[in-house]
Amino acid sequence: MIPHGFGQNQRQSEHHMMLACVAVLLSAVIHVVCMYLFADWALGGAAGGLRQKARDWFEGDRVPPMRVEMMHADPMHIAEKVQGERDTPSRGPIEAGDRVEALSQSASPVLTVPPPIPREALTPGVPALKEVVSDQIDTTPWMPRQEIAQIFDRTVQDDVAALPRREIPMIERVPEAPDIVPSIDLVGRRFGKDPEPPKPMEAAEVFDTEISKGTFKPPVAQVPETAAKVSAGTTEARFGMQPGEKTGAAAGSADSERLKQAQQERVQKQLEAAARQTPAGQAVSAEERKAREAQAQIAALQEMIDYVPIDDLLAVGLETFRDPAEPGRVYFRIGIQPRADRQVPVIAKDIVFVQDVSASMTEERMVFCRRGMAAALLTLNPGDRFNVVGFRDTFEPCFQEWAVASSENLVKAAAFVDGMRAFGQTDLFGSLRALMRLPRDPRRPMIAVVVTDGKPTFGVTESARIIGEFSALNSGMVSIYMFGTQSKANVYLLDMLTYCNRGASSVMNGNRWDLPAAFQPVYEGVRYPVMGDITVVFDSASKCEVYPKNSTNLYKDRQLELCGVCPDTTEELIFQVRGLASDKGYDSIFRLSMSRHAKLGSAAVKQRWTNQKMYHLVADYSREARQQVMAEMLKVHAQYGVPIPYESELK
């Protein structure tokens, strides 16, 4: 017996099974349709792999749809650029085709015909052909350029290119040859005296006894009788020429005219250069115009004047030091002075005594300053020209121009000095600038002796600015010597101002009543000049670094010192000393052997060089505060242990 409802349940089960089959079939159809319609959709992971397999099974070798684009250039060479070809916008196929057709018809056969093959290349068995032909032969057909070359940027004009050429012979540089060759071979010469035969070390001994130990006794200066005529500006005032003696007439007149013309041309160029450097709307000052004219006249005289060798009139000493901690370097010191056994003529000079008469000097100190200034006036030589200036916030000269050192003028100057009184403020920069109003004779050294406490209170008061601006204006034209009247004087201002302007400074540390005696070495040291406007040039082959760069004038009783360093492989020091002396130029060339002429010195030689280099850097930084100079100062300080002087003033 079949239970009730069993048949009904069986029919429902079959019905459900049929619906499930229909659903599975419908789902499969839907998936296939979706995979076909959404084939470009990206699926990641395993789903992506299944999609790719299904696509491969259903599509087989089905080719994807074609994409059509316009190509304006060969895609294989699209990144290449022909050298010298300008970038032009792409042209369409029709325009480019017309362009190529037109150019190909008008092109020269030289451009379209391939180059001929040499006959030697067709001969079998030629060795040169085997060396030239590579393993891989380029079968690309030769195609001519379809562009006409055109020059857009010309570097040489046609008229210049057509000029004839001149061949310049090649001159080979000899490494061991010196740049400076002396007229007299001074190797083995004894400095200071000339006995024969000299021993190798006698030169050092003379230098040690006469210069290093301070026992050098210069002879009494023999001032030429023609010096007085030099002050009047006569053409007869030349050393080695008697009063009234005439020069070579026409030749001398022609030389004078050429010198005058050269000076005028240089003056004009100097003034034009000064005008270009002056800000727009600002005129060149009278002081700057005077300075530029004087500098141009000196430069013209240096080029036109006849130079006379005086190698045998100067005593030269060389002292060296080798530091074991610095292998490969030699420090040296050179001293130059007129010889004791030779008569070196003294030249006439222009000297101005500048006295600070401001209130900071005090009347008690001015009493002794007046005594020292009166004593300085008595040391003037026949033929010298002079002036006396008192400055505070004003500039008060005794004479409007240079005065001859006559009895009448000396009495007038002494009365002017006796009337000096201390009051008012101190304008040091304005007073130094006013010195440019005094005319500079290029045949005479111009010297300024300044007595001050170095405390400017009026006008330009910043020390670095005073040093920089006055040094740029003066440019070594006037030698500045300064004397500080008390120990509290501005040593930085005095030292750097004189170092940058061919001079020297000294400061009194005693009481005020010692002032006349302390002031005496200053004016006595510049009493007998021998040569002015000196330039010193060392041979480049020695590779030496020498200071100071701007040397002082050469005096009979003042040593000219040069400090330097060079490689230990340097065998000789060759240098040239040039300067002006009245209507003549003096030229001395020295050749010092490091083995025969040098005296072994102490570590003080190295110390003097490091101090000189530091002074040079400080002076350079004072003229223009540059970070490169400060970095070099710090480097010298760290390397040699020398302190940076006036460091507080440089900040």
Residue with tokens 């006894």: 209
Strands, E, within 453-559: which ranges? Answer: 479-484, 505-507, 529-538, 545-547, 554-555
pLDDT in tens, 247-291: 344 445 666 676 667 667 766 776 666 666 666 556 667 888 888
- Predicted TM-score (pTM) of the model is 0.62
pLDDT in tens, 375-418: 999 999 999 999 999 999 899 999 999 999 999 999 999 999 99
Q: What is the pLDDT of residue 196?
A: 43
Scanning 333-489, the segments in alpha helix (DSSP H) are: 363-377, 407-418, 428-434, 463-474
Q: What is the pLDDT of residue 168?
A: 57
pLDDT in tens, 559-574: 899 999 999 999 899 9
Domain 202-239+258-342+531-601, CATH class in plain words: mainly beta
| Pairwise CA distance, residues 233 & 213, whole Å | 41
Scanning 419-527, the segments in alpha helix (DSSP H) are: 428-434, 463-474, 491-499, 515-525
pLDDT in tens, 147-195: 444 444 544 455 544 555 555 566 665 655 555 555 444 443 444 444 4
CATH of domain 350-527: 3.40.50.410
Mean of pLDDT values over 567-592 = 89
| Pairwise CA distance, residues 590 & 576, whole Å | 6
Q: Domains of the chain: which residue ranges?
A: 202-239+258-342+531-601, 350-527
Q: Which helix (H) or strand (E) holds 268?
A: helix 250-277
Residue 601: HSE in the Cβ half-sphere, 13 Å Cα cutoff: 26
Number of H helices and number of E strands within the chain? 20, 17
Name residues whose C-beta falls within 8 Å of residue 354's C-beta, 6 or more positions apart in sequence: 389, 391, 431, 432, 435, 448, 449, 450, 451, 452
More confident residue, 539 or 280: 539
pLDDT in tens, 199-236: 433 333 433 444 344 443 333 333 333 333 333 333 33
Residue 32: how many other CB atoms lie within 10 Å? 12
Long-range contacts of 411-414 (CB under 8 A, 24+ apart): 413/377, 413/386, 413/388, 414/374, 414/377
Q: What is the pLDDT of residue 211?
A: 37
Q: What is the pLDDT of residue 190?
A: 41
- Helices 603-623 and 491-499 pack at an angle, to 10 degrees, of 90
Asked whether the predicted pLDDT for residue 293 surpasses 50, the reply is: yes
Which residues are bridge partners to 536 per DSSP? 577
Q: What is the pLDDT of residue 117?
A: 57
Q: What is the pLDDT of residue 194?
A: 46
Query: What percent of the chain shows pLDDT beyond 90?
Result: 30
pLDDT in tens, 307-347: 888 888 888 999 999 999 999 999 999 999 998 888 888 99
pLDDT in tens, 435-459: 988 999 989 999 999 999 888 889 8
Q: What is the pLDDT of residue 52?
A: 60
Identify the burial level of 364 via C-beta atoms within 10 angstroms of its C-beta, where 0-12 means exposed, 13-18 middle and 19 or more buried. Answer: exposed
| Pairwise CA distance, residues 344 & 230, whole Å | 17
Cβ atoms 481, 448 nearer than 8 A? yes
Asked whether the predicted pLDDT for residue 85 surpasses 80, the reply is: no
Mean of pLDDT values over 584-592 = 88
Q: Which helix (H) or strand (E) holds 250?
A: helix 250-277
| Pairwise CA distance, residues 508 & 484, whole Å | 6
- Check for a shared fold between 202-239+258-342+531-601 and 350-527: no
Which residues are bridge partners to 396 per DSSP? 390
Q: What is the pLDDT of residue 448?
A: 96
Dihedral pair phi/psi, residue 307, rounded to 5°: -95, 135
Mean pLDDT of the chain: 74
Q: 11-15, 207-211, 425-429: which has the minimum mean pLDDT?
A: 207-211
The token duo for 391 is 């400055």
